[in-house]
């Protein structure tokens, strides 16, 4: 295995997120949301191609336990609202060469929405999401970010935002879909990722190959 680098020591929201590798260039969140990655088939994908839809972009990784906990909420959202021009995108922050692990995760979680790979903290910061996983941005039809959540998504809050965006918007916008803290009892023992070889748990920072 290659050398590994420890990520930032501070975890957000009662240790419900994992820090990613540091950004390598100044981010920007001005104007419309931008995100250009590749899918699992190696095809280039661009967020701009989804203009006209409400897009929910979730940043995650196979080694992130809180990401695993929240993923079913996004699966349910796509299944229930996909016909209403709502599109979920899963942006994987796994390192290059982890495609098999990502594919296994997609199969295990029964994910049927697009998965884009190669996401970095630069991509996250461009959407105003900081540098920790999991993180989610809700993007309006015009490409603007209208809500953000750092940590495990509040599914009810997420659906309130979708309802508001799909409605006439005459009522005030909902409160942000705040993340759900993980209780201390849920931390348990560290789980070992056989692809990364790093101990991953809710009680400490993750290690990611450099």
**What is the arithmetic mean of pLDDT over 76-100?**
96
Q: Where are the beta strands (DSSP E) in 36-183?
A: 36-39, 44-46, 54-60, 86-92, 115-117, 132-133, 135-139, 145-150
Reference 133, options 9, 15, 19, 10; nearest CA is 19
Q: Is the pLDDT of residue 60 over 80?
A: yes
What is the average pLDDT across 136-158? Answer: 94
Name residues whose C-beta falls within 8 Å of residue 131's C-beta, 6 or more positions apart in sequence: 8, 19, 20, 22, 23, 121, 124, 125
- Per-residue pLDDT for 77 more than 60? yes
State the helix-helix crossing angle for 99-109 and 65-81, rounded to 10 degrees: 60
Beta bridge partners of 88: 56
Of 127, 145, 13, 116, which Cα lies nearest the Cα of 69? 13
pLDDT score, position 200:
28
What does DSSP assign to residue 180?
P
Is 188 a residue whose pLDDT tops 80? no
Average pLDDT rounded to a whole number, residues 2-7 = 35
pLDDT at 42 over 80: yes
Q: Lowest-confidence range among 29-33, 91-95, 119-123, 127-131? A: 29-33
Mean pLDDT of 133-142: 96
Question: What is the predicted pLDDT for the residue at 17?
Answer: 46
Q: For the chain, what is the mean pLDDT?
A: 78
Confidence at residue 175, expressed as pLDDT on a 0 to 100 scale: 85
pLDDT(18) > 80: no
More confident residue, 155 or 195: 155
- pLDDT attached to residue 195: 38
CA angle 124, 65, 21 (to 5 degrees): 35
In three-state secondary structure terms, 183 is coil
């Amino acid at each position: 295995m290659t050398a590994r680098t420890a990520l930032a020591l501070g975890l957000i929201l009662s240790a419900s997120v994992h820090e990613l590798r540091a950004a390598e260039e100044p981010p920007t969140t001005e104007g419309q949301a931008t995100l250009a990655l590749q899918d699992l088939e190696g095809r280039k994908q661009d967020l701009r191609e989804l203009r006209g839809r409400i897009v929910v972009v979730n940043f995650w990784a196979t080694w992130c336990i809180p990401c695993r906990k929240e993923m079913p909420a996004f699966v349910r959202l796509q299944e229930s609202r996909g016909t209403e021009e709502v599109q979920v995108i899963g942006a994987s922050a796994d390192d290059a060469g982890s495609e098999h692990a990502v594919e296994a995760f997609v199969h295990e979680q029964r994910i049927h929405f697009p998965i884009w790979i190669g996401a970095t903290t630069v991509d996250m910061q461009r959407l105003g999401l900081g540098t920790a996983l999991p993180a989610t941005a809700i993007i309006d039809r015009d490409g603007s970010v209208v809500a953000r959540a750092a940590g495990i998504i509040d599914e009810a809050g997420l659906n309130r935002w979708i309802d508001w965006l799909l409605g006439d918007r005459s009522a005030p916008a909902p409160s942000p879909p705040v993340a759900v803290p993980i209780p201390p009892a849920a931390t348990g023992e560290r789980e070992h990722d056989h692809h990364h070889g790093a101990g991953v748990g809710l009680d400490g920072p993750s290690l990611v190959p450099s």
